[in-house]
Amino acid sequence: MSWKDTAEPVLTRMPEVRRPEGHVPFKRKLGWTAGILVLYFFLTNVLLFGVQTGGQDVFGQFRSILAGSQGSLLQVGIGPIVTASIVLQLLGGADLLGLDTQNNPRDQQLYQGLQKLLVVIMTALTAIPMVFAGFLAPDPNVAGDLGVSLGGMRWIIFVQVFIGGILILFMDEIVSKWGVGSGIGLFIIAGVSQRMMGGLLGFRELLGPESDGIIATWLRVAFGNRELSGSVLTPAGLQDILLGPGGEFELGLLAIFTTITIFAVVVYAESVRVEIPLSNTRVKGARGRFPVKLIYASVLPMILVRALQMNVQFMGRILDTQLGSLPAWLGTYDAQGQAQGGLFYFLSPVQSPQDWMWFAGFGGGNEVWEILLRVGIDLTIMVVGGAIFAIFWVKTTDMGPEATAQQIHGSGMQIPGFRQNVRSIERVLEQYIPQVTVIGGALVGLLAVSANMLGTIGGVTGTGLLLTVSITYKLYEEIAEEQLMEMHPMMRKMFG
């Protein structure tokens, strides 16, 4: 018996959200999407019961891409889903699964079941060290009121974190099947947009101490309620204007410039494409184009690269907590749990100008060569990893030349001047898709690191900003397509 025969009884019985039997009207799709979005915001404000306040956020620097909230029911966010996707992409890329998800319905069902099972396992494997390694410490007072030990209180916290991870899995499935776009993309947009709005419009009178955004900060400077390090014409004053008062980079002009530039570059890159002409074999005179965009694989593979770095850093934090301290060559940590030296320092991503601007008095006290080596490693990981995961993404999501040719041929379209068969379409697509995939993945990695190094509004990180802009652009395109199909049902039949 193969592993598929052995695992089939389990994988085919995994709980799932039922697919719609027919066409879902556009308004109903919007209703489901809006409802899940409201539920997401509600769950991020449901605090874990019995957790001691003031603990460290082990995923703090990766929160923009995890779409979760520290100390809430969605503590782990989409982390387990992304980690499971990494495992499956690596296994699929090495052809170790032996699943034909393109043509075999049984293999498609097994793949979906395997993905869901891996998410459940990853949720448990993420929650266990998070709770039992001390990152989510139980409150002794609550444990005493309930009459349970601290160990029992930890299990109660674990169950809450686990339930939150499973909830976000099914919320993502609901959006994918009944809504518009994907749940993961929707949650990333929601989390990043919330932080950006806070970084732009926040006032401490409304949101509490240290909640001033850019507008509030510079209004206080203008009215003399907050002072710069020097006058506007001095180097110290200019540094405060550019990098933010007191080194708060998300409040400086550089962060505003970086955010606007990333918006413009991503929107421009999304519009750069090679358009392959198509004609319809069923309707004479009907023509169209298949666009091969510069960012063909989208920026979602960047989540996989950052999630891989996140898991490495999470492992380092666990080892440091459990062993008391690590050998200096492996990693040293400060009071906030950030790596300051050793291997884990060099593998940690650069998240803000404070991590590398040694010439402006920052850099964490590390030597210049250490800072430059860390920047070089992060850039290499993001550029090379972005290209590799983009290739895996295209292959596993049926966006490659072979799968795309099948889809075009199945819709009744052909490339004018070529024979009406799948192989002819595939040969044309092979001239563009593989090369564009690699170039686009590497470009997105470069943009992400550059945005991190210069800072962004709200400190959402370059990866989070790239994801938000790109996902929002694609969501806009999908909504426009849905509206077009709704207005002209014949097009839905024509293009499937």
Query: Over the chain, what is the mean pLDDT?
Result: 85
The yes-or-no verdict on residue 495 having pLDDT over 90 is no
Give the global pTM: 0.84
The whole-number average pLDDT for the span 112-121 is: 91
Q: Which residues contact 127 (CB under 8 A, 6 or more apart)?
A: 75, 76, 158, 161, 162, 165
The token pair at 8 is: 């089939």
Tens of pLDDT, residue by residue over 196-226, are 888 888 888 777 777 788 888 888 888 877 8
Separation of alpha carbons 23 and 40, rounded Å: 26
318: left (phi over 0), alpha (psi -120 to 50) or beta: alpha
Q: What is the DSSP letter of 47?
A: B
In the chain, what are the helix, strand and coil shares in percent, each to the nearest 5? 65, 5, 30
More confident residue, 12 or 412: 12
Beta bridge pairs of residue 138:
51
Separation of alpha carbons 445 and 151, rounded Å: 43
Beta bridge pairs of residue 72:
47
The yes-or-no verdict on residue 458 having pLDDT over 70 is yes
Tens of pLDDT, residue by residue over 248-259, are 777 788 889 988
Cβ-contact 315, 59 below 8 angstroms: no
Beta bridge pairs of residue 280:
413
Give the pLDDT confidence score for residue 326 in this predicted structure: 82
Give the pLDDT confidence score for residue 291 in this predicted structure: 85
The whole-number average pLDDT for the span 3-20 is: 85
Least confident of 14-23, 228-237, 444-453: 228-237
Question: pLDDT above 90 covers what percent of the chain?
Answer: 23
R_g over Cα of the chain: 25
The yes-or-no verdict on residue 55 having pLDDT over 70 is no
Q: What are the chain's domains?
A: 26-180 (1.10.3370.10), 204-251 (no CATH), 272-455 (no CATH)
Element (H, E) at 365: none
Give the pLDDT confidence score for residue 1 in this predicted structure: 56
Least confident of 69-83, 118-132, 280-294, 339-353: 280-294
Cβ-contact 208, 198 below 8 angstroms: no
Separation of alpha carbons 249 and 269, rounded Å: 26
Give the pLDDT confidence score for residue 398 in this predicted structure: 78
